[in-house]
Amino acid sequence: MTRKVFLYLLMSVILLSNVEIKAQNSIEKKLNIIVFGAHPDDCDNKIGGTAALFAEMGHHVKFVSVTNGDAGHFEKGGGALAKIRRAEANLAAKRLGIDAYTVLDNHDAELFPTLDVRHQIIREIRNWNADVVITHRPVDYHPDHRYTGVLVQDAAYLVIVPNVTPDTPPLEKNPVFLYLQDHFQKPYSFKPDIAVDITQSFNKKMDALDAHKSQFYEWLPWTSGKLSMVPKEIDKRREFLISIWSRSISPKVRKSLNKWYGNERGQAVKHAESFEICEYGKQPTDEEILKLFPMLNSKR
C-alpha cells in the first residue's frame, strides 16, 4: 500500500513537472526573425530599432545583406571595401545585440533576381527556421533594393517545397513576409500595417548606423554633396547622424501606432519603424501579429 502511494506520488510529481516544463517552453518559445537588405546597412537603417527590441526580449534576429557592398564608396572599392563593410556590419550587429549579420558575396550594384541568388535566400530562411521574413518592397530607389524585394518574394511559398534546394530541409509552414518602409508612391504607396515604437531603442539604432562609418560619414554624405558637413569631432557626429537619419512620423504611421499602442502612447511616440504585410506569405491576424511583435502594446 505504501509503495502504491509512493508510486502514485512519484508519478504525479513527474507528470506535474512535465506539464510545467511544457508550459515554460511554450511561453518562452523564442521568435526567429530574418531581415534581407541589399547592402550592409540597409537593415540597420530600416529596422535597427525594432531589431534591438526583439534582441532585448531574447528573440533571435539575423540581418542578411544580399550584396557585399563593394561598390558603395567614392574612393574605395572591390574586395577591400567589402572587407571594411563586413567588419562594419559585424560591429553594428554587436551594438544592436542581434545574433548574426551575414554579408553574402554578390557584387554591389549588380544584383539580379537569378535562380542561384533565390536559392541562397531560400537556404538562409530555412536555416534560420524563420517565423518572420522582412525585406525591401520591389519598388525602392536602388535596383539592388528592388531585386532583393523580388528575390525574397520569390522565396515565399518555395521555402516549404521539398524539391526546391533539397540540400536544405524545407520549413513546415510559410512564414509571415513583411516589407520595410519606403517613400515610393508607384504603383502604390507603402502601407504601415504594423508600426513599432522605437523611442527606447533609438540610441542603439544610431550606434548601429555609426558602425557603418564608410557609409554614414563618407559615401552617403558624398552622394548628396554634404561631405564637408560631416563633423571631424567624434562627439559631434551623433547629432549629425540624428539630424539626417531620424525619420519623421507620417500621419499614416501615427494612425498605425495608435492602433497598436492606444492613442495616448501612440501620440507620444518619438521614433517609429513600420512594416507592410506581403501577400505571398502567411497572412497573420491582429492576434498573431501581437504574438510575432511582442513589443507592441496590446492594450487598445
Partner 1 sequence: MKRIIIVLLLLSTGVFTNAQNRQNKPLKIIAIGAHPDDCDAKFGGTAALFAKMGHKVKFVSLTNGDAGHQSEGGGALGKRRRAEAQRAGEILGITYDVLDNHDAELIPTLQVRHQVIRKIREWDADIVLGLRPNDYHPDHRNAGVAVQDAAYLVIVPNVTPDTPPLKKNPVFLYMRDRFQKPYPFSKDIAVIIDDVVDQKIEALAAHDSQMFEWGPWTNGMKESEIPKGDDERLAWLKKRYASQKNWNKSDTDAIKKWYPNLDPANVNHVEFFEICEYGKQPSEEEIKQMFPMLGKK
The residues that touch partner 1, with contacts defined as CB under 8 A, are 114-115, 118, 153-154, 156-158, 160-164, 166, 173, 187-188, 279-280
Kindly tell me which of 39 and 146 has the beta carbon lying closer to partner 1: 146
Cα–Cα distance for residue pair 30/247, rounded to 1 Å: 29
Kindly tell me which of 99 and 182 has the beta carbon lying closer to partner 1: 182
Total H helices, total E strands in the chain: 11, 7
Cell numbers at residue 239, please? Answer: 547629432
Q: What is the DSSP letter of 282?
A: -
Shortest gap between Cβ of 78 and partner 1 (angstroms)?
Answer: 28
Shortest gap between Cβ of 166 and partner 1 (angstroms)?
Answer: 8
Q: Which amino acid is at 93?
A: A
**Which residues, in sequence order, are CB contacts of 20 under 8 Å at separation 6+?**
none
Kindly tell me which of 91 and 164 has the beta carbon lying closer to partner 1: 164
Kindly tell me which of 167 and 279 has the beta carbon lying closer to partner 1: 279
Q: What's the number of CA atoms in the CB half-sphere (13 Å) around residue 212? A: 29
Residue with cell 530541409: 169
Where does residue 160 rank: exposed (0-12), middle (13-18), buried (19+ CB within 10 A)?
A: middle
Shortest gap between Cβ of 204 and partner 1 (angstroms)?
Answer: 33
Kindly tell me which of 26 and 163 has the beta carbon lying closer to partner 1: 163
Shortest gap between Cβ of 256 and partner 1 (angstroms)?
Answer: 17
- Answer yes or no: are the C-beta atoms of 136 and 149 closer than 8 Å: yes
Cα–Cα distance for residue pair 65/205, rounded to 1 Å: 17
- 3-class secondary-structure state, position 220: helix
Shortest gap between Cβ of 114 and partner 1 (angstroms)?
Answer: 8
- Answer yes or no: are the C-beta atoms of 281 and 125 closer than 8 Å: no
Shortest gap between Cβ of 279 and partner 1 (angstroms)?
Answer: 5
Kindly tell me which of 34 and 150 has the beta carbon lying closer to partner 1: 150
Shortest gap between Cβ of 36 and partner 1 (angstroms)?
Answer: 16
Containing 11, the helix (H) or strand (E) segment is: helix 2-28
Containing 249, the helix (H) or strand (E) segment is: none
Kindly tell me which of 187 and 251 has the beta carbon lying closer to partner 1: 187
